[in-house]
Structure 1
Amino acid sequence: MHEFSIEREVILPVDPEQVFAAITTGTAGWMFPTGGDPDIDANDSTNNPVKAWEPPNRLAIRQEADGWFNALEYLIEARDGGTASLRYVHSGIFVDDWDNQYDGASKHTDFYLHSLGEYLRHFAGRPVTYVSADGPPASGTPDALTTLRRALGVDSAARVGDRITIDVPGSTPVDAEVDYTNEYFLGLRSAETLYRFYGRNNFGGTVDAAHHFFTDEIDHVATQLAWQNWLDNIYA
């Protein structure tokens, strides 16, 4: 077992109160899973993973068992112009394959923090429905994310800001633009949705989808089934 620490600092386009709300209410269950109940006194409860609850400047989460732990800390400070800085620290213990797990967690962190910024810029405070689908075993090959990009019509030369149409059977075609792209992840943003694609094939997993729909007009079951079928079909 080896301990790790991943640290980032980003500037976000809103005040600290809005950042704290984004990581603790409404979006917390899907953007930054934290667990715990803030209504319990974090300083007095050993069973609550919330170890510090100091709005709007600090949130600390720690889960541990049998020598293992996983901890998240968010330190938020006001900056000029109505912006805020977020210092994010993720620490813990990896039991197996330390290098691969650290590399994957580090790269995921960058994508998650980017998605937080996109949420705050475009969707803050709106109701959200989270829809996820895991790729089949066939999406665990080295070229699996390339297959997904090709199916979406996003080629390897695509850049942030490029426009595409997302056309998934069972869903209405949607105009979107690329908001994040590298060899590990792909992010697309429409007027009502953040579409997130994770190339976890690079870290021993599969290519997965996890989308955030900021509209009340969404059928969760039908939408999830449509994306699951789409993933299964492109890797069939």
Structure 2
Amino acid sequence: MPVRKEASGRRSVQAEVEVPGSPEEVWEAIATGPGISSWFVPSDVEEREGGTTVSHFGPGSSMDAVAKITTWDPPRRYAAESPEAMGPGSATVGTEWIVEAQSGGTCVVRVVHSWFASTDDWDKQFEGHAHGWAAFFRILRLYLSHFRGQPSVAFQLMGAAPGPHGAAWGALVGPLGLAGAAEGQRVSTSAGAPPLAGVAERVGPSEFPELLLRLEEPAPGIAHMFAMPMGGQSFLPIRVYLYGDSAKDAAARVEPLWQAWMAERFPGPQAG
């Protein structure tokens, strides 16, 4: 997903996905706090032009991404701006969300990041954002296909390991009993590991290790884990989304087990 460069200095990158649902149902998932929190990260949205969106990527306000809504046109489009989104001195970044109805009861969701720059300094980071959206959009499609509109509780964990991300990935999925999972296969975690059971919806290639599960246990839901190299080490994020009337109790029961399991095996912060 390369950066598009215009003569005016405007640069942009985009990602899109086709998902099931009416425009109103899809809008609920991408433009409200409870909807976004059901497949992305915990989020708050003031649903109006001039309102604020906050995405909580970890504990503490330093991990919050804050933007001001500049366009609000439900259920078709909204846009927001984030000053210095990539750090002090960086450009203001505009993010536009578009919902386009298709035949057959589906919609295309498109997200476009744009900014003005005279150099390529930020291009790689934004290309990485586009690839990141591709992973989250797989979760969105799974959510809308199986859990649309249900009550949701989510938690996030983070481990870190030295060395190549392939080795770090093995250190995660091996003890979990999830190594060698194949798409379409029913899998479950090993005895002594926190409980997860369901169907493997996606298994990433070795160069981009990733596992996306549609859960039956500890409650209906989705689990997503992957390995990401950064700064000479590998980060191992795990996100668990649980749905339905049993989600709250199930999350309260298993999140502490996951926190303890990850803290024992991997250093690094644990984000709930």
Please report the TM-score for the alignment, with normalisation by the length of structure 2.
Answer: 0.70
* Amino acid across the alignment from 1:181: V
Q: How many residue pairs were aligned?
A: 228
Query: Which segment is superposed worse, 17-26 or 91-100?
Result: 91-100
**Counterpart for residue 235 of structure 2:** 206
1:92 offset after TM fit, Å?
5.0
1:194 is the counterpart of 2:222: yes
Show the counterpart of 1:69: 92
185-194 or 212-221: which moved more?
A: 212-221
Q: CA deviation at 1:89?
A: 1.4
- Superposition pairs for residues 9-20 of structure 1, below 5 Å? 9-20=16-27
Q: CA deviation at 1:196?
A: 1.0
Corresponding residue number in structure 1 for 2:257: 226
Q: Find the counterpart in structure 1 of residue 37 from structure 2.
A: 29
TM normalised by structure 1 equals: 0.80
Q: 2:37 touches 2:154 (CA, 8 Å); kept in 1?
A: no
1:144 aligns to 2:152 (yes or no): no
Give me the whole-angstrom Cα distance separating, in 2, the residues matched to 1:233 and 1:132: 16
Between the aligned partners of 1:31 and 1:108, the Cα distance in structure 2 is 13
Contact 1:140–1:206 (8 Å) recurs in 2: no
| Structure 1 residue 229: Cα displacement | 1.9
- Please list the CA deviations of residues 144-175 of structure 1 after superposition, one character each: whole Å capped at 9, or x if unmatched: 1122222232334x33211101357585x443
Once structures 1 and 2 are overlaid, which stretch shifts more, 208-217 or 146-155?
146-155
Distance 1:176 1:69 in 2: 41
The one-letter amino acid paired with 2:74 is P
CA contact (8 A) 1:23 1:31 kept: no
8 Å CA contact 2:39, 2:241 repeated in 1: no
Shift in Å, 1:38: 1.4
Q: How does 1:173-192 map to 2 (within 5 A)?
A: 173-182=195-204, 183-191=208-216, 192=220
Question: Secondary structure in 1 aligned to 2:223?
Answer: strand
Equivalent of residue 6 in structure 1, options 13, 24, 29: 13
Q: Relative to 1, partners in 2 of residues 1:108 and 1:139: Cα closer, same or farther, differing over 3 Å?
A: farther
1:207 offset after TM fit, Å?
0.5
Structure 2 contact 188–197 (Cα < 8 Å) conserved: yes
Q: 1:99 to 1:68 in 2, by over 3 A?
A: closer
State the percentage of identical aligned residues. Answer: 25
- Find the aligned partners of 1:186 and 1:61 in 2 and give their Cα distance: 31
Q: Is the 8 A contact 1:161 1:178 kept in 2?
A: yes
Structure 2 match to 1:107 = 131
1:31 and 1:51, CA in 2 relative to 1: closer, same or farther beyond 3 A? farther
Q: 1:134 to 1:49 in 2, by over 3 A?
A: same
Q: What's the RMSD between the two structures over aligned residues? A: 3.3
Unaligned ranges ≥5, structure 2:
1-8, 52-65, 268-272
Most deviating of 200-209 and 177-186: 200-209
Q: SS in structure 1 opposite 2:47?
A: coil
Give the 3-state SS of the residue equivalent to 1:159 in structure 2: coil
Cα 1:8–1:201 change in 2 (3 A) is same
Q: Are residues 96 and 107 of structure 1, via their aligned partners in 2, closer, same or farther at CA, if it must alter by over 3 Å?
A: same
More deviation, 14-23/26-35: 26-35
